[in-house]
């Protein structure tokens, strides 16, 4: 029997606010342990939460970007469980009434295959602290800096059909968050974390199979690996006629396998109830309009414009829109030179290549967009040749100087004046009488020889197109005499 | 009606250690409280919105601005055991999946 994989992801995105969700302690990453801890973080009696407005702004923004309905009347709920990284004994979250629901995002699984993936809900909640387990001393060490950092949990519909699709979806979520600048989406630092629900069912079957949940997967590669392992594990159980046990698993990246988590409380035991310390949040239409007006264009929209208006290939559009900074840079280059294709080539091959080699990214590029645009303009107006431009670019990358300065300083200007080129051609003809004779007798191979000679005698600075034309014209003139 | 088993389960979830026989007396106490709730349940509330918050305020929020946290020494002064600036607790394993 053929089986189909059904996957849904729960993604936790850490928001890049300055302060925590319910108190004014800093969210700075990498501070000394327990540096950003106050009475509320510690769950001290009498401390009260006050909601950070920016968290709601970001939740609305992400909801709009993911085509969700935004809930008007919002409440927070307490989710109870005991764990040392959660001093209050409950996590403040949203339960039955998430701020965003029923959305979707279009995910490209390859340049020509795109499908919407449903977004079931997005809700606001607080993060827990961090535990370090020390096997040697049989102790766990708790750092509460992260406790109370705002999170958005994005729950997809079970619309994903393979581990590779899951990775694409996760990348798309990260890309949107980064475009909106609501999170850095850094998986290594834990700003983006992922739980995956996975089940198999016979192809054609409508009912879902029994699912397992893999917790806390912390890299794009591991998402794919964990889901591949779990697909194979479930498949071999089903093929052997065995049952899948509904359970929560951890992915062990060292062995590349999943194993059951121990002693987790059942979700019905979380004893959710509305948090009486937090008044409701009412999101009026005006608030939504205000957020919408602040939203940047999203990658899907920009990508479409790059193909339809700028005439780029879908592949190039994909490369440019991978990061908002990249496409902003490209558009700034285009603004200066008005040459879409050349701007794309220079940004994606020359600039990205040089940046990669130096371990830099676009935000630390020594060449700015205005200068790269100016360089392309110099080529298009035939002041320098494409070949010269490469060496000018190298110099720009080294010194951050403008192309005009470099061209001036190195005397690199291309010779485009017809008179000037003609006089050089005549000198070269005079110096090579036998080859000239052969050319005039119709030996076209010598045309290339003369182009080469002219380029050589000008140090490569003559406009090759003009040289070509003028040699033909001059040869015709001499032959007709 | 709340039975002894339910009291024991709630105690477990709340990390409360009950003395011998306490679950029976607690079940009785809880039942008398819930008996009163039963009385309230009989009231007609069809025209009343469910309440999660009593004083009717809404959208109480603060701007995203930081202010200094507690000095770490003070924040950690109730901690039974420290390891450097970390809070030290008996080892917890495999359960780090809560969000």
CA atoms lying within 13 Å on the CB side of residue A69: 9
Same domain, residue pair A278 and A400? no
pLDDT digits (tens, 9 = 90+) for A434-463: 888 888 888 888 888 998 888 888 877 788
Which runs of E-coded beta strand occur in A209-351?
Answer: 212-217, 248-252, 257-260, 273-274, 281-282
Same domain, residue pair A157 and A90? yes
Same domain, residue pair A277 and A251? yes
Query: Within an 8 Å CB–CB cutoff, is residue B80 touching chain A?
Result: no
Instruction: Show which of A369, A387, A410 is a domain's final residue.
Output: A410
Q: Is residue A206 part of a domain?
A: yes
Category of A166 on φ-ψ map: left (φ > 0), alpha (ψ -120 to 50) or beta: alpha
- Which residue is associated with the tokens 């602290």? A129
Distance separating alpha carbons of residues A176 and A169, to the nearest angstrom: 11
| Residues of chain A neighbouring B89 (CB-CB closer than 8 A) | 84, 139-142
Same domain, residue pair A84 and A108? yes
Distant-in-sequence, close-in-space partners of A481: CB < 8 Å, separation ≥ 6 = none
Same domain, residue pair A253 and A318? no
Q: How far is CA A301 from CA A112, A172, A197, A293, A305, in A?
A: 16, 13, 30, 16, 6
Among A251, A279, A286, the strongest candidate for a mutation testing the B interface, having the largest count of B CBs within 10 A, is A279
Query: Between A and B, how many CB-CB pairs are < 8 A?
Result: 162
- Which residue is associated with the tokens 């002064």? B77
Comparing CB atoms, the residue among A138, A265, A276 nearest residue B91 is A138
Distant-in-sequence, close-in-space partners of B89: CB < 8 Å, separation ≥ 6 = A84, A139, A140, A141, A142, B81
Domain span at residue A349? Answer: 297-410
Same domain, residue pair A81 and A168? yes
- Which residue is associated with the tokens 């794309």? A344
The neighbouring-strand residues paired with A52 are: B62
Name the stretches of chain B with pLDDT < 50. 95-99
Which runs of E-coded beta strand occur in A264-333?
Answer: 273-274, 281-282
Distance separating alpha carbons of residues A415 and A24, to the nearest angstrom: 65
The CATH number that applies at residue A443 is: 1.10.10.410
Do the strands B86-90 and B82-83 form a parallel or antiparallel pair, or are they unpaired? antiparallel
Cβ pair A53:B89 closer than 8 A: no
pLDDT digits (tens, 9 = 90+) for A2-45: 999 999 999 999 999 999 999 999 999 989 999 999 999 999 99
**C-alpha dihedral over A314, A318, A321, A322, to 10 degrees?**
180
Q: Is residue A292 part of a domain?
A: no
Query: 3-state class of A383 per DSSP?
Result: coil
The neighbouring-strand residues paired with A415 are: A462
H/E stretch holding A155 reads: strand A150-156
Comparing CB atoms, the residue among B52, B64, B72 nearest residue A37 is B72
Of the candidates A176, A251, A247, the one whose C-alpha atom is nearest the C-alpha of residue A221 is A251
Of the candidates A127, A93, A129, the one whose C-alpha atom is nearest the C-alpha of residue A271 is A93
H/E stretch holding A91 reads: strand A90-93
Q: Is residue A252 part of a domain?
A: yes
Confidence of residue A263 (pLDDT cuts 50, 70, 90): low
Q: Is residue A20 part of a domain?
A: yes
Query: How does A175-187 read in b/e, with b if 16+ C-beta sit within 10 Å?
Result: bbbbbbebbbbeb
Asked whether the beta carbons of A201 and A231 are under 8 A apart, the reply is no
Cβ pair B69:A37 closer than 8 A: yes
Confidence of residue A265 (pLDDT cuts 50, 70, 90): very low
Query: Within an 8 Å CB–CB cutoff, is residue A48 touching chain B?
Result: no
| Residues of chain B neighbouring A148 (CB-CB closer than 8 A) | none
Instruction: Show which of A287, A313, A339 is a domain's final residue.
Output: A287
In chain B, the domains with their CATH numbers are: 4-41 (1.10.20)
Instruction: Show which of A253, A287, A321 is a domain's final residue.
Output: A287
Give the B window 60-79 contacts with A, CB below 8 Å.
Answer: 60-67, 69-70, 72, 75-76
Same domain, residue pair A222 and A338? no
Q: Is residue A391 part of a domain?
A: yes
Give the pLDDT confidence score for residue A100 in this predicted structure: 98
Confidence of residue A481 (pLDDT cuts 50, 70, 90): low
Dig out the tokens for A299 from the structure: 């990658």
| Residues of chain B neighbouring A280 (CB-CB closer than 8 A) | 52-53, 58-59
Same domain, residue pair A30 and A142? yes
Distance separating alpha carbons of residues B26 and A37, to the nearest angstrom: 37
Same domain, residue pair A449 and A394? no
Decide if pLDDT at A64 tops 70. yes
Same domain, residue pair A135 and A258? yes
Q: Is residue A122 part of a domain?
A: yes
CA distance A195 to chain B (A): 9
Q: Across chain A, which distance is largest between two alpha carbons, in Å?
A: 106
Q: Is residue A338 part of a domain?
A: yes
Distance separating alpha carbons of residues A399 and A384, to the nearest angstrom: 19
Q: Is residue A473 part of a domain?
A: yes
Mean pLDDT score across all residues of chain A: 91
Distance separating alpha carbons of residues A9 and A356, to the nearest angstrom: 32
Cβ pair B83:A75 closer than 8 A: no
pLDDT digits (tens, 9 = 90+) for A306-330: 999 999 999 999 999 999 999 999 9
Decide if pLDDT at A366 tops 50. yes
Same domain, residue pair A308 and A369? yes
Count how many domains chain A has. 3
Distance separating alpha carbons of residues A226 and A251, to the nearest angstrom: 6
pLDDT digits (tens, 9 = 90+) for A409-438: 877 777 777 888 888 888 889 889 888 888
Asked whether the beta carbons of A208 and A6 are under 8 A apart, the reply is yes
DSSP state of A309: T
Of the candidates A78, A56, A58, the one whose C-alpha atom is nearest the C-alpha of residue B62 is A56
Of the candidates A128, A115, A124, the one whose C-alpha atom is nearest the C-alpha of residue A153 is A124
Of the candidates A412, A411, A418, A413, the one whose C-alpha atom is nearest the C-alpha of residue A467 is A418
Which of A200-209, A225-234, A451-460 shows the lowest mean pLDDT across its residues? A451-460
Same domain, residue pair A455 and A425? yes
- CA angle A372-A377-A383, nearest 5°? 120
């Amino acid at each position: 029997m053929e089986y189909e994989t059904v996957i849904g992801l729960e993604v936790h995105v850490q928001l890049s606010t300055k302060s925590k969700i319910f108190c004014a302690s800093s969210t700075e990453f990498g501070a000394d342990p327990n540096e950003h801890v106050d009475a509320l973080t510690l769950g001290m009696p009498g401390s009260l939460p006050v909601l950070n407005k920016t968290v709601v702004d970001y939740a609305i923004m992400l909801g709009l970007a993911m085509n969700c309905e935004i809930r008007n009347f919002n409440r927070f709920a307490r989710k109870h469980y005991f764990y040392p990284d959660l001093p209050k004994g409950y996590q403040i979250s949203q339960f039955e009434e998430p701020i965003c629901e029923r959305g979707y995002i279009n995910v490209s699984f390859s340049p020509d295959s795109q499908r919407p993936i449903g977004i079931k809900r997005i809700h606001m909640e607080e993060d827990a602290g961090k535990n370090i387990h020390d096997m040697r001393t049989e102790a766990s060490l708790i750092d509460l800096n992260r406790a109370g950092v705002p999170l958005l949990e994005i729950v997809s519909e079970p619309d994903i059909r393979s581990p590779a699709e899951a990775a694409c979806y996760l990348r798309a979520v990260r890309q949107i968050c980064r475009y909106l600048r609501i999170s850095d989406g850094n998986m290594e630092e834990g700003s983006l974390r992922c739980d995956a629900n996975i089940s198999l069912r016979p192809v054609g079957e409508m009912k879902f199979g029994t699912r397992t949940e893999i917790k806390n997967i912390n890299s794009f590669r591991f998402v794919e690996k964990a889901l591949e392992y779990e697909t194979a594990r479930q498949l071999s159980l089903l093929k052997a006629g065995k049952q899948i046990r509904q359970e929560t698993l951890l992915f062990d990246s060292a062995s590349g396998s999943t194993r059951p988590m121990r002693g987790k409380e059942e979700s019905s035991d979380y004893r959710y109830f509305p948090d009486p310390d937090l008044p409701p949040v009412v999101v009026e239409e005006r608030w939504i309009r205000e957020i919408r007006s602040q939203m940047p264009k999203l990658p899907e929209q920009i990508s479409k414009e790059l193909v339809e208006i700028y005439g780029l290939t879908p592949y190039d559009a994909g490369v440019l829109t991978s990061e908002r900074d990249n496409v902003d840079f490209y558009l700034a280059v285009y603004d200066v030179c008005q040459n879409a294709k050349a701007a794309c080539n220079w940004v994606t091959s020359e600039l990205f290549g040089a940046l990669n080699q130096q371990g830099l990214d676009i935000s630390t590029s020594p060449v700015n967009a205005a200068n790269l645009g100016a360089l392309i303009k110099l080529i298009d107006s035939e002041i320098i040749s494409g070949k010269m431009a490469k060496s000018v670019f190298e110099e720009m990358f080294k010194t951050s100087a403008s192309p005009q300065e470099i061209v001036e300083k190195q005397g690199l200007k291309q010779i485009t004046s017809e008179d000037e080129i003609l006089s050089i051609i005549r000198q070269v003809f005079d110096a090579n009488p036998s080859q000239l004779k052969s050319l005039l007798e119709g030996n076209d191979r010598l045309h290339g020889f003369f182009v080469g000679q002219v380029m050589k005698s000008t140090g490569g600075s003559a406009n090759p197109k003009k040289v070509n034309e003028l040699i033909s014209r001059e040869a015709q003139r001499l032959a007709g005499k | 009606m709340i039975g002894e088993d339910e009291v024991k389960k709630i105690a477990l979830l709340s990390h409360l250690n009950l003395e011998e026989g306490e679950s029976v007396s607690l079940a009785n106490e809880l039942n008398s409280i819930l008996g009163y709730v039963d009385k309230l349940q009989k009231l007609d509330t069809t025209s009343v919105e469910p309440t999660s918050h009593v004083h009717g305020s809404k959208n109480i929020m603060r701007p995203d601005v930081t202010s200094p946290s507690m000095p770490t020494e003070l924040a950690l002064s109730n901690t039974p055991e420290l390891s450097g600036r970390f809070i030290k607790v008996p080892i917890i394993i495999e359960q780090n999946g809560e969000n």
